Chain A
C-alpha cells in the first residue's frame, strides 16, 4: 500500500515539472515575436520593455528564464500583470478560486446524482422504451455546447420570461459569496450548476449504463442472484458498486479538468468571476502573465487531483492494491 503511493508521488512530481516546462515553452519559446513584447502588453513604452527584459531575464539563457518564472509564480508569488497596472496575479487567482469551486462542486453533485439515477434505471430496464428514451436524452445533452445552452437559458430567464412567475426569482448574472448570504449564493448558482451539469449527465449516464450492462453478464452477478438477493440489491450492491470504480476515476479527471479551466465557458456566460473568467478577461486584454499563471495553477491542480483519484482507486478496488 505504501510503495505504490510513493511511486505515484514520484510520477506526480515528474509530471508537474514536465507541465511547467511545457507551459513555459508554449509562452516563451514559440517561434515568432519577442516574449518581452508579449508580457509588456500592447504598445508598451521602451522603458517598460527594458524593465520587463531585466525582470524576466530575457537576455539570459532559457533555463535561467524558466527558473525565474517558476520563482515568481510559486515562491515569491509576485508575478505582476503589466496590462492591468501591476496587479499581483497570484492573489487574484486565489480570490477567484472559490467561485470556480462553488460552481463545479454544485454541478458535480447534480451530475453524479442524476447520472447514477438515469444510468441505473436505464440498465434495469435494458431494451425497453425507458432505456431508449433516457439514452436519447443523454445523447442530446452531450451534443449541446454549454455556452449555447447557457445563453439560451439566460435569454429565457433574464430577458424573455424574467417577469413571469416562473423565473422572477432568478437574480441578475453574477456571484454572491456563500459567507455573505447562503441563499443568494444558491440562487445565483443554481442555474449555472444545471447548465454545466447537462453534458456530464449525458456522458456519465451513458457510460454507467454501458458498464452496468456489461457487469450484468459477469459470473458474480449470477452468484448474487443465486444467493436469493432481491434484484435491486443485486443491481446496486453488486453491480453498481463494481461499475462505480470506472465511474469514480472518470469523475475525478473531469472534476479536476473543470476546476482547472474547463468551466471557463460557463463562467463567462453567467458572469461568474471565477478562474475561468479571469482567464477570459486576460485574453481580452492580452494579459500574458495572468494567463500563464492561471494555466500553470490549473495544471498543477489537475495533476494533484489526478493523484488523489488514483489514491481513491486504490481504496475502491482491492485488486489494484496488491498489484505492485
Chain B
C-alpha cells in the first residue's frame, strides 16, 4: 500500500463534471475540474457562494444521489477509481478513509442521541469494537480535540454544548477512524472569531497528530492564507487558478483571484 501512495497522489480528480437536470434542461454545476492532493497536505478550495464547492465535496463523498444528476470524469483515491463504485464498497470508504466535517455543527448532529453515542456509532460501524472499547476511544478522541472533561461531555446531547465544542466533537467524529482525507466544508463559518481561530489551529495540528490531508472549503481568503499549503480558486464551477498559497497571494493570475484578495480586510 505504501508503494502505492508513493506512485499515486492520495486523491486525484480528473475532468470532474457535475450537472443537474431540471425541467428537461441539463444545468452544469461543476465543469472539468481537475486537481490532486498529496499526503499530509492542506488544500484550500475557495470561491464565491454558489460556485459549486459543496457539490464537489459531496461528489467526492459519493453522497449525491438526487435524481437527474450526472457525474462524469474520474476520482482516484490511492489509485483506485471511486466514481461509480458500488454503494456497499463506497460505504466502507466513507467515514473510514474519507471523512467530512460540515458547516453548521448546530444541525449536523442527530438531536436525540448523545455526542458520545454518535461517535461510538461510527467507530463500531467500521471496526469490531465492543461498546466499552468504542467509548474509551471516543473519550480519548474528545480529549485530543481539546474538549474539557471529555467523559462527561460524551454523555451530553448536542443542544447542550456550545458551538465550538460541538465542532470539536464533529472533528473528533470525523477523525475517529483515522481517515486519510478529511473534507471540511466551511468548518468555521458558523463560529465566532476566537473559536474559529482555535478550530483552525486544531486542524493544522491534525496533519502531524493524525497524518491527515485536508480539503478545506471556505470563502474566507484570510483562513486560506493562514492554513492552506496550496489553494484552488473556483469560479462558477470551473477552476480559475491553482497554486501554492504563497504564489497565489503574491501574483494572482486570474482577475477573479485578484478581486477576492482585494476583498480581504487589511
Contacts and interface: CB of A to CB of B under 8 A. Distances in A.
A316 B113 CA distance: 10
B205 to A, nearest CB: 22
Interface string B99-120: 1101010011111110000000
B157 A319 contact: yes
B94 A227 contact: yes
A54 interface: no
Nearest to B90: A228
Contacts of A226: 61, 63, 94-95, 99-100, 102
Nearest to A228: B95
Question: Chain A binding site: helix, strand, loop or mixed by DSSP?
Answer: helix
B111 A319 contact: yes
Interface in A215-259: 218-220, 222-231, 233, 237-238, 241-242, 245
13 contacts: A220-B108, A220-B111, A223-B108, A223-B109, A226-B94, A226-B100, A227-B94, A228-B93, A230-B91, A242-B110, A242-B112, A317-B111, A319-B157
Interface stretch (B10-18, B121-129, B223-231, B258-266): B121-129
B177 to A, nearest CB: 8
A222 B125 CA distance: 16
Contacts of A231: 87
Interface residues of A, number: 25
B157 A219 contact: no
B181 to A, nearest CB: 12
Interface string A308-323: 0000000011110010
Given A219-B102, A318-B112, A227 B63 contact: no
Nearest to B94: A228
Given A222-B63, A222-B102, A322 B95 contact: no
B69 interface: no
A28 to B, nearest CB: 47
Contact of B159 (A223, A230, A245, A319): A319
Interface string A7-26: 00000000000000000000
Contacts of B63: 222, 225-226
A229 B121 contact: yes
Nearest to A238: B110
Contacts of A219: 102, 104, 107-108
Contact of A220 (B109, B121, B125): B109
B53 interface: no
A249 to B, nearest CB: 14
B182 to A, nearest CB: 11
Contacts of B160: 318, 322
A223 B111 contact: no
Interface of A: 127, 218-220, 222-231, 233, 237-238, 241-242, 245, 316-319, 322
Contacts of B112: 241-242, 245, 316-318
B130 to A, nearest CB: 18
A227 B94 CA distance: 6
A228 B91 contact: yes
Nearest to B179: A228
B27 interface: no
Nearest to B157: A318
Given A219-B104, A319-B159, A227 B95 contact: yes
A155 to B, nearest CB: 46
Contacts of A222: 63, 102, 108
A222 B58 CA distance: 10
Closest 8 A-B residue pairs measured CB to CB?
A228-B95, A228-B94, A219-B107, A318-B157, A227-B95, A220-B110, A227-B122, A226-B100
Contacts of B122: 227-229
Nearest to B109: A220
B111 A318 contact: yes
A219 B157 CA distance: 16
B219 interface: no
A212 to B, nearest CB: 14
B96 interface: yes
B85 interface: no
A132 to B, nearest CB: 15
Contacts of A237: 121
Contacts of B99: 226
Contacts of A245: 112
A318 B159 contact: yes
A223 B92 CA distance: 15
B107 A218 contact: yes
Contact of A228 (B102, B107, B126): B126
A313 to B, nearest CB: 12
B110 A224 contact: yes
B161 to A, nearest CB: 12
Q: Which of A127, A218, A219, A230 has the most CB of B within 10 A?
A: A219
B214 interface: no
A231 B65 CA distance: 12
Nearest to A318: B157
B173 interface: yes
Contacts of A228: 91-96, 122, 125-126
